């Protein structure tokens, strides 16, 4: 077959041509006006379906469609590749004679699987294109067809068992099916490809041909070119069926596409490297994603990869988004589950709960390499703290979960991610090495991170705006808060019939924080600055200061993180810091307010743990907090009063700086930790 010669199977059908749109039609399955490249591909498919080895050149143009694939997506894929042959008839020669490395670029990733199937039948192991010569092995001429890995985690896009290197060793053509911007290629293909073959969208006549071959008769109507161009492989598989008839299939197809294109597309999951606000957690996640991707390519053993991690942080900081973005970063599927979901499978019955849990892990192993998220991990509880009435049930659920985590066959390729608001409530066995031993804290975004988070949610809105002033107002909020503010702000602008402006977002942030009298805000500023001054004086870290935090119900907020090593001295200083907000109010106004409730609760818990858990005060016996000893209450009260007295004395010597810092906080509404440190230095 010469590079300038005709395409195989150029014969024309003896059928009549299709009349003008809207009129009666006859069969166009092999109509004379079809391009010869499309006919060549359909004949290759037809011949690959037959039990005998027949050269495609010998196939009758009007061969029965009963031999053709009954998958409309594969017929459409053959048509798309056939049109590429029509544009460049020498493609077949190059594939057959020169063993090139080609990339076939599909319109989108829904075509990856059907196009791969078509090319395997047309040019791979199922093909009759290759003419055997004496002494020639059957596999020597066949092409190796591989499929790119889809960026859409809902689509399984891999080719198990296909050895890309075999194409190079045997001097075979290597054809990789891809979707530009939506799939990743094997690294061997990225290094060696010689030619890309772009495939265009479907045309109205193509849909007529596909319907005729599926149903057996031509539809009397066609779809507009604008709709045909938006049809994907999934649409065809849903709509076209012999039971609907030709016109019913086309009508159904048109309705599906019109409904889909009339809706704005869902925002794709971003890659972890494109997100802001995760700090050190993002660094770990990007490294873990790189290892997972390397495992998927066979470049790294699973023993050298991270098996899992626990994401811990307050609600709304983006733990679920982090896990899905990690999967996107690694270009692997993402699967999510929770104890609540598994219990919902059978009204929390133990048998159905365990069955659903086992099914989740089984599906994750099938999808490997993948990222599997178990949300609300603290809902399993701690076997040491389970109440007697449901202890047996809880123990069996936790034990079943532990068995699933370990598994008889292991879980190679499954990166487990747990998410929790409170890691202290999780059974220690769940957190042991090899399960969720790495705990990664995800905190509320810092001031310098909020502009990027707001920009992500704003998209193309307010592109010329400086978001730093808005971020200062939003300090204390989470990524989920930012998404809600932007969504509500867009709604406000939409109802007003105008574009979004900065004030729309500021109004929504202010609405979350609520309104307060000036004198009340003055008290809040004094209270929060009391914490900051005490922490700075005692050598503890200072977080951001917010006057009216939208993420804390409109109350004041000072970020605070305890040091890594906790000793008796450190804990007593932490008690002083917790009591310093109340002490600052006493210094400034003469009396404290009821606004110190959260501080008092935290201080009480801390002082009690010093006595009954950690042996860092007058008692060495530890009861885990289960027993109630009246003597402990007396000791805790004594510790709190001592800390309150120390806080009052400490702030009394720094009263002027306290008032100045409070005045600055009132003016700016929020202060980043570095600004507070600089002021108090």
3-class state of residue 312 by DSSP: strand
Cβ contacts of residue 581 below 8 Å, gap of 6+? 527, 528, 530, 531, 595, 596, 599
Any idea which architecture 272-441 has in CATH? 3-Layer(aba) Sandwich (3.40)
Within the chain, which residue ranges are assigned CATH 3.40.50.300?
272-441
- For residue 366, the model assigns a pLDDT of 81
Homologous superfamily of 518-680 in CATH? Answer: Peptidase M41 (1.20.58.760)
Best CA proximity match to 319, nearest among 368, 275, 265: 275
Q: Which residues are catalytic?
A: 528
**What are the residues facing 375 on neighbouring strands?**
338
Judged on CB neighbours under 10 Å (0-12, 13-18, 19+), 197 is middle
Give buried/exposed letters for 257-288 (b at 16+ CB in 10 A, else e).
Answer: beeeeeeeeeeebebbeebbbbeebbebbbeb
Averages of pLDDT over runs of 10 residues in the chain (681 residues) are: 36 34 37 63 70 41 43 92 89 82 88 90 64 42 72 38 70 84 69 88 92 90 89 92 90 88 67 87 93 89 90 89 92 91 83 90 86 93 84 91 80 92 90 87 86 90 89 84 91 92 87 66 90 92 76 64 80 94 94 89 90 80 63 89 95 93 86 87 82
pTM of the complete model:
0.54
Q: Give the contacts of 397 (CB within 8 A, at least 6 positions apart).
A: 339, 350, 353, 354, 380
Q: Which of 412, 380, 418, 385 is nearest to 399 (CA)?
A: 380
Which regions of 382-481 does DSSP assign to beta strands (E)? 414-420, 439-441
State the pLDDT at residue 628: 60
Euclidean distance between CA atoms 189 and 195, whole angstroms: 11
Four-residue CA torsion sign, 114, 118, 120, 123:
negative
Tokens for 588, please give them.
């400034």
In this structure, what are the phi and psi dihedrals at residue 334, rounded to the nearest 5 degrees? Answer: -125, 135
Helix (H) or strand (E) holding 563: none
Question: Are the C-beta atoms of residues 310 and 433 closer than 8 Å to each other?
Answer: no
Q: What is the DSSP secondary structure assignment for residue 590, as one 8-state letter?
A: S
Computed on alpha carbons and rounded to an integer, the radius of gyration of the chain in Å comes to: 33
Euclidean distance between CA atoms 309 and 306, whole angstroms:
8
Which residues of the chain form CATH 1.10.8.60? 450-513
Q: Token pair of 76, please?
A: 């459409």
- The pLDDT assigned to 534 comes to 94
DSSP state for residue 50 in the 8-state scheme: S
What CA–CA distance (Å, rounded) separates 34 from 13?
A: 9
Q: How far is CA 588 from the centre of its chain?
A: 49
**Burial of 178 (C-beta count, 10 Å sphere; 0-12/13-18/19+):** buried
**Residue carrying structure tokens 């039971």:** 243
Q: Rounded to whole angstroms, how far apart are CA atoms 10 and 1? A: 13
Give the CATH number of domain 450-513. 1.10.8.60
Residues in the chain: 681
> Which residues have CB under 8 Å from 48's CB, separation 6+?
121, 122, 126, 127, 128
Query: What are the residues whose beta carbons fall under 8 Å from the beta carbon of 284, sequence distance 6 or more?
Result: 306, 309, 438, 440
Q: Which two tokens stand for residue 351?
A: 């048998």
Q: List every span in the chain annotated with CATH 1.20.58.760.
A: 518-680
SS3 per residue for 356-387: HHHHHHHHHHHHCCEEEEEECHHHHCCCCCCC
């Amino acid at each position: 077959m010469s590079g300038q010669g005709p395409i195989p199977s150029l014969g024309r059908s003896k059928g009549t041509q299709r009349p003008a749109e809207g009129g009666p039609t006859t069969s166009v399955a092999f109509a004379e006006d079809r391009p010869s490249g499309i006919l060549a591909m359909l004949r290759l498919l037809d011949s690959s379906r037959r039990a005998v080895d027949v050269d495609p050149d010998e196939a009758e143009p009007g061969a029965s469609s009963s031999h053709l694939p009954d998958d409309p997506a594969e017929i459409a894929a053959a048509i798309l590749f056939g049109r590429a042959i029509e544009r460049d008839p020498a493609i077949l020669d190059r594939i057959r004679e020169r063993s090139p490395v080609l990339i076939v670029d599909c319109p989108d990733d829904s075509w990856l699987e059907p196009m791969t199937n078509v090319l395997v039948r047309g040019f791979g192991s199922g093909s009759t294109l290759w003419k055997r010569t004496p002494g020639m092995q059957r596999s020597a001429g066949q092409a190796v067809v591989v499929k790119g890995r889809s960026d859409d985690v809902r689509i399984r896009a891999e080719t198990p068992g296909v050895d890309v290197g075999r194409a190079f060793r045997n001097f075979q053509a290597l054809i990789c099916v891809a979707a530009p911007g939506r799939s990743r290629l094997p690294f061997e293909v990225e290094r060696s490809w010689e030619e890309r073959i772009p495939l265009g969208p479907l045309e109205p006549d193509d849909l007529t041909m596909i319907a005729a071959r599926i149903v057996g008769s031509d539809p009397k109507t066609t779809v507009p070119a604008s709709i045909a161009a938006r049809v994907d492989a999934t649409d065809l598989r849903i709509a076209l069926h012999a039971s609907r008839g030709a016109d019913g299939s086309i009508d159904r197809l048109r309705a599906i596409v019109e409904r889909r294109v009339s809706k704005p597309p869902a925002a794709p999951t971003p890659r972890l490297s494109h997100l802001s606000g995760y700090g050190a957690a993002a660094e770990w996640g990007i490294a873990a994603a790189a290892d997972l991707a390397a495992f998927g390519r066979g470049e790294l053993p699973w023993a050298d990869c991270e098996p899992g991690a626990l994401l811990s942080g307050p609600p709304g900081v983006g733990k679920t988004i982090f896990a899905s973005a990690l999967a996107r970063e690694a270009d692997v599927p993402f699967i999510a589950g929770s104890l609540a979901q598994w219990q919902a499978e059978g009204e929390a019955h133990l048998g159905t709960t365990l069955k659903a849990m086992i099914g989740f892990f089984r599906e994750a192993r099938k999808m490997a390499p993948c990222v599997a998220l178990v949300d609300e991990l603290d809902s399993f509880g701690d076997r040491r703290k389970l109440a007697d009435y449901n202890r047996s049930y809880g123990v069996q659920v936790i034990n079943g979960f532990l068995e699933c985590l370990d598994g008889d066959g292991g879980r190679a390729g499954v990166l487990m991610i747990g998410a929790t608001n409170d890691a202290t409530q999780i059974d220690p066995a769940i957190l042991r090495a090899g399960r969720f031993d790495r705990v990664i804290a995800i905190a509320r975004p810092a001031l310098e991170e909020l502009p990027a988070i707001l920009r992500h949610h704003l998209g193309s809105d307010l592109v010329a705006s400086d978001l730093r002033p808005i971020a200062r107002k939003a300090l204390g909020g989470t990524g989920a808060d930012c998404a809600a503010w932007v969504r509500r702000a867009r709604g406000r602008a939409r109802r007003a019939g105008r574009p979004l402006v900065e004030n729309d977002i500021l109004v929504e942030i202010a609405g979350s924080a609520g309104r307060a009298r000036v004198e009340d805000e003055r008290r809040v500023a004094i209270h929060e600055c009391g914490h900051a001054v005490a922490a700075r004086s005692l050598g503890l870290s200072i977080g951001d200061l917010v006057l009216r935090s939208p993420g804390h119900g409109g109350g004041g907020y000072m970020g605070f993180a305890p040091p890594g090593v906790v000793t008796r001295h450190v804990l007593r200083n932490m008690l002083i810091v917790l009591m310093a907000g109340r002490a600052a109010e006493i210094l400034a106004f003469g009396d404290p307010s009821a606004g110190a409730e959260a501080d008092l609760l935290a201080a009480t818990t801390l002082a009690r743990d010093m006595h009954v858990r950690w042996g860092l005060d007058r008692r060495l016996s530890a009861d885990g907090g289960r027993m109630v000893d009246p003597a402990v209450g007396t000791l805790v009260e004594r510790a709190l009063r001592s800390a309150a007295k120390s806080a009052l004395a400490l702030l009394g010597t720094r009263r002027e700086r306290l008032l100045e810092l409070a005045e600055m906080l009132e003016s700016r509404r929020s202060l980043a930790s570095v600004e507070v440190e600089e002021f108090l230095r």
